Amino acid sequence: DQQVKQNSPSLSVQEGRISILNCDYTNSMFDYFLWYKKYPAEGPTFLISISSIKDKNEDGRFTVFLNKSAKHLSLHIVPSQPGDSAVYFCAAGRDKIIFGKGTRLHILP
């Protein structure tokens, strides 16, 4: 049973435009949500997080939105840059995290 779902395996966005990565979860007990970025053959690096008491968290070009009623979160990257091309993992949990399958983001020149 997949508790954290990223339904889009890949996404292509023009450089300079907004990239929107989506994630759905099923467990209402989750109280912390994160996004990780992963380059090939490297470990994932933490990008941004949000706790369940908030609905938005912003850090530079990255903003995470949380819709608890819909059990949905999204990561917005604006403006998108070539270095943003990577796999993005959504993760959620309480004491330990559960990852989604990831979405590969391609930033087109």
Partner 1 sequence: GAVVSQHPSRVICKSGTSVKIECRSLDFQATTMFWYRQFPKKSLMLMATSNEGSKATYEQGVEKDKFLINHASLTLSTLTVTSAHPEDSSFYICSAYLAGGPVRTDTQYFGPGTRLTVL
Binding site for partner 1 (CB under 8 A): 4, 9, 32, 34, 36, 41-46, 49, 89, 91, 93, 95-102
Q: How far is the CB of 99 from partner 1 (least distance, A)?
A: 4
| Nearest to partner 1 of 62, 79 (CB atom) | 62
Contact 88, 22 (CB under 8 A): no
Task: Name the one residue in this structure whose structure tokens are 């007990």.
Answer: 29
Query: If you compute the radius of gyration of the chain from its CA atoms, what whole number of angstroms results?
Result: 13
The first and second tokens of residue 73, run together, are: 């979160």
| Nearest to partner 1 of 31, 71 (CB atom) | 31
Q: How far is the CB of 79 from partner 1 (least distance, A)?
A: 25
Q: How far is the CB of 16 from partner 1 (least distance, A)?
A: 29
Task: Compute CA 59 distance to the chain's CA centroid, rounded to the nearest angstrom.
Answer: 13
Q: How far is the CB of 41 from partner 1 (least distance, A)?
A: 7
Contact 92, 5 (CB under 8 A): no
86: closest CA among 102, 104, 74? 104
| Nearest to partner 1 of 78, 97 (CB atom) | 97
| Nearest to partner 1 of 13, 23 (CB atom) | 23
The first and second tokens of residue 67, run together, are: 């819709």
